[in-house]
């Protein structure tokens, strides 16, 4: 089953409206797009530096026969007009900090199983790295990849940040900028797919995915990335993948992979992880299998 050219009418209509503006105001430099020509569903994981990223990243995918279903925070569905388009485009809402968060995981797996493409920004929000490098990713993308068995294609992009910088309400259309993107081969997760879905496995998979994205960004920028990714929960340092006590840094999983994570949501995630209702692995991570029910998936997402 090919992922190419199976677009809803609303997708084609919206693309027809947006693409002319993108062609006029942005030049394009895309590499590695042959990695998008696949015959089954797959996950695309991209870095997040601008509110324009969903549009410019979807442009890369759409033009290469891989129109994505984007996972996004559910509040966007309440915005007039935008919400209507999101429903018509069959995007995937994520209800953060709720037991319904697991519904998005189920919807994403169904999309993948039907041969579609799911786009996730693993950082969960605009990067908070002072130099706009990819920061630590949340484990939702790894969980989706390992439970679905689908490949993860890293997409690194650079350029949208100059058009719509963080904190800017209006785009800066002049001078004309170049949207650069590099699409890498599938991240190697094969040795992790048969292992129990423990916290250490999820973090290893997430680290590999973010390392592939960061390598692409470094190629586009022509610079060396930081030795350790920025940890937004520890703004005083680049803490890498462990806290000072040696324990792995945790995220709010798939819910955080689709929108900003608030302090309250992190607290809720920590409380859920400590709850005796969750099925715990030896290292403290919930362990739903590939055939887990939506309820089990929800508990797992809240526990991460």
Confidence (pTM): 0.77
Q: How far apart are CA 247 and CA 254, in angstroms?
A: 20
* Percentage of residues of the chain with pLDDT beyond 70: 75
Predicted confidence at residue 267, as pLDDT, reads 34
Domains of the chain: 9-166+174-303 (3.40.1130)
Q: How far apart are CA 253 and CA 166, in angstroms?
A: 23
Query: CA 208, 213, 214: angle at the middle one, nearest 5?
Result: 95
Q: Report pLDDT digits (tens) over 74-125.
A: 888 999 988 988 998 999 998 877 777 788 999 999 999 999 999 999 998 9
Which of 154, 173, 219, 171 is CA-nearest to residue 23? 173
Predicted confidence at residue 280, as pLDDT, reads 31
Which of 283, 123, 136 is CA-nearest to residue 201? 283
Q: How far apart are CA 296 and CA 291, in angstroms?
A: 10
Q: How far apart are CA 185 and CA 169, in angstroms?
A: 35
Tell me what the pLDDT averaged over the chain comes to.
80
Q: Over 90: is that where the pLDDT of 240 sits?
A: no
Predicted confidence at residue 81, as pLDDT, reads 86
Q: Report pLDDT digits (tens) over 286-299.
A: 333 333 333 333 33
């Amino acid at each position: 089953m090919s992922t190419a050219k199976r677009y809803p009418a609303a997708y084609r209509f919206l693309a027809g409206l947006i693409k002319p503006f993108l062609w006029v105001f942005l030049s394009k430099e895309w590499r590695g797009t042959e990695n998008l020509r696949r015959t089954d569903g797959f996950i695309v994981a991209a870095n997040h530096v601008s509110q324009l990223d969903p549009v410019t990243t979807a442009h890369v995918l759409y033009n290469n026969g891989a129109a994505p279903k984007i996972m996004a925070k559910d509040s966007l569905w309440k915005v007039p007009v935008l919400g209507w388009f999101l429903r018509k485009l069959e995007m995937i809402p994520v209800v953060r900090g709720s037991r319904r968060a697991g519904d998005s995981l189920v919807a994403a797996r169904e999309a993948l199983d039907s041969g579609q493409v799911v786009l996730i920004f693993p950082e969960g929000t605009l990067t908070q790295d002072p130099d706009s490098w990819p920061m630590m990713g949340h484990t939702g993308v790894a969980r989706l990849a390992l439970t679905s068995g689908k490949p993860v294609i890293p997409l690194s992009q650079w350029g949208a940040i100059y058009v719509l910088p963080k904190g800017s309400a209006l785009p800066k259309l002049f001078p004309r900028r170049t949207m650069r993107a590099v699409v890498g081969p599938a991240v190697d997760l094969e040795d992790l797919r048969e292992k129990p879905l423990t916290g250490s496995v999820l973090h290893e998979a997430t680290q590999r995915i973010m390392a592939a994205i960061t390598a692409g960004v470094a190629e586009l920028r022509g610079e060396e990335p930081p030795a350790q990714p920025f940890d937004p929960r520890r703004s005083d340092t680049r803490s890498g993948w462990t806290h000072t006590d040696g324990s792995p840094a945790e995220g709010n999983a798939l819910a955080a992979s689709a929108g900003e994570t608030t302090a309250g949501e992190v607290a809720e995630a920590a409380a859920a992880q400590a709850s005796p209702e969750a099925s715990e692995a030896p290292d403290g991570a919930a362990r739903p299998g590939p055939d887990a029910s939506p309820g089990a998936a929800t508990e797992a997402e809240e526990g991460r």
